[in-house]
Amino acid sequence: MSVPDYLPPERHRLVRKLESIAPLSDTEQQALLALPVTVQIMDANMAIVRDGQRSQTCSLILDGFVCRSKSLPHGRRQIMSFHTPGDIADLQGLTLNVADHSVSTLVPTRVGLIPHESLHELMRRYPGVAAAFWRDTLVDGAIFRAWLINIGRRTVQQRIAHLLCEMTMRCEAVGLSHNSGYELPLRQSDIADALGLSPVQVNRVLRELGARGLITSQDSTVAALDWEGLKQAGEFDPTYLHLSREEAA
């Protein structure tokens, strides 16, 4: 399953991602690109990290789409975040020994495994990189808080609109959008598990939003159509993403 890695271009995505939230010097960027990475190719719906597991590596998403989730009794499931290429979905595993949730692929995905050892060494040598990782963790937390607001206090329409706005903007920030927008590879049941809803309800509201011309959804994908309309429908304010450009203001 694991093949050696000959500097694939996707490794640059990590730099791009960190740069979107924190400034990095040239040497720091070079050091990040020099990290040893073992590429692992995975099918859709596979576990990268299992709830309760300990790991010796971090998983950099090179290509594909993954989520963090936790399964509960009676077949319930909660998805807590989505991650795109450039994200390290299990950065917390570097410091927190036991995983308190699972990380799994939603589509065929290539993952770059980086030894904890190498990351610790890198941070020891480059405090700026350590700061960037901390900042990434902080933004992660800010996104969780935004999701709490979303699930706790918004209507179903708002929740779905907000989720789409967030993912669209995050993809844009790291240069993933093709032409117009980004097609999220999400089944309706994935959206349901992310937003605390039933798949049936998601289906109905998805087509309501489609009828209003705000989104398209087909073949297990969703995408924003009317950005301004969607922002308004989801009460979306990107402050919480703490993107470099915004902070500079």
Partner DNA sequence: CGAAGGCTTGATAGACCTCAAACACAGTGG
Partner DNA sequence: CCACTGTGTTTGAGGTCTATCAAGCCTTCG
Distance CA(37)–CA(58), nearest Å, equals 10
**Residue 185 in the binding site for DNA (CB under 7 A):** no
Of 49 and 62, the one with the shorter C-beta distance to its own copies is 49
Pick one of 41, 44, 80, 223: the residue that binds its own copies (CB under 8 A): 80
String of contacts with its own copies for each residue 153-192, x by CB under 8 A: xx--------------------------------------
Question: For the chain, how far is it from start to end, CA to CA, in angstroms?
Answer: 46
Q: Which residues of 145-172 are buried (b: 16+ CB within 10 A; e: fewer)?
A: ebbeebeeebebbbbbbbbbbbbbbbbe
String of contacts with its own copies for each residue 202-241, x by CB under 8 A: ---------------------------------x---xx-
Q: Give 160-202 as a DSSP string.
A: HHHHHHHHHHHHHHTT---SS---B---HHHHHHHHT--HHHH
Pick one of 147, 171, 190, 205: the residue that binds its own copies (CB under 8 A): 147
Q: How many residues bind DNA (CB under 7 A)?
A: 18
**Residue 25 in the binding site for its own copies (CB under 8 A):** no
Of 103 and 215, the one with the shorter C-beta distance to DNA is 215
**Residue 197 in the binding site for DNA (CB under 7 A):** yes
Alpha carbon 25 to chain centroid distance?
24
Pick one of 7, 96, 149, 200: the residue that binds DNA (CB under 7 A): 200
Alpha carbon 77 to chain centroid distance?
18
Q: How is residue 238 written in tokens?
A: 């990107």
Distance CA(92)–CA(184), nearest Å, equals 25
Q: Which amino acid is at 146?
A: A
- Give me the sheet containing 66-71, strands edge to edge: 47-49, 102-105, 66-71, 77-83
Pick one of 41, 107, 131, 225: the residue that binds its own copies (CB under 8 A): 131
Task: Write out the residues near its own copies by the rule CB under 8 A.
Answer: 52, 68, 70, 72-73, 76-78, 80, 92, 95-98, 100-101, 124, 127, 130-131, 133-135, 137-142, 144-149, 151-154, 193, 195-196, 235, 239-240, 242, 246-247
Q: Where do contacts with DNA occur on this chain (CB under 7 A)? A: 155-156, 187-189, 196-201, 203-204, 206-207, 217-218, 220
